[in-house]
Homo-oligomer: A and B are copies of this chain.
Amino acid sequence: MEPTLKLADQICFPVYAASRLIIRKYTPYLDELGLSYPQYLVMLVLWEEDQVPVSFIVQKLLLNTNTVTPLLQRLEAMGMLTRKKSQQDERKVIVSLTAKGRKLKEQAASIPSEMAACLLSKEITAADLGMLVNKLNQLIATLNEEEAS
């Protein structure tokens, strides 16, 4: 497929539109948890690994500090997590889940399979989704690696 100025032919628009539409699809599920989509992503990171510095979340989500800091401040105000300066290095702020934040994981447990079901269709099989995830992760690796240099 030769790249042109046509909207549907370029990779950028399908990825951008799919991202927004998938997030829209998540919203009703996340509303039950009282989380926005980016807040949900932060919680996913912390459910995998707790008591991490802000920079860890920044790296995992490929976001910038100036996006993550306000996210953490809102989640702290919601009682989901705490932020405390590290003893070893006072530049670092350690983010830790509260009991409430840990408990929310149980409520969230059903979301991934519910969402996967939403995305399947005649044209898109589970294998397709798996392949998409793989290729997109490779694409992300390429884009992120160049950025680091």
- Output the residue of A12, A20, A23, A63 with the most chain B CB within 10 A: A12
Does any Cβ of B come within 8 Å of A5's Cβ?
yes
Question: How far, in Å, is A47 (CB) from chain B's closest CB?
Answer: 6
Contact yes or no, A5 B47, CB < 8 A: yes
The complex is assembled from copies of this chain, and their number is 2
Chain A residues with a Cβ closer than 8 Å to the other chain, count? 67
Determine the distance from Cα of A136 to Cα of B22 in the docked complex, in whole angstroms. Answer: 11
- 17 pairs, CB–CB < 8 Å, chain A vs chain B: A5-B111, A7-B60, A8-B133, A10-B116, A15-B22, A16-B37, A17-B140, A18-B136, A18-B140, A18-B143, A20-B63, A21-B62, A21-B139, A21-B140, A22-B143, A24-B147, A124-B142
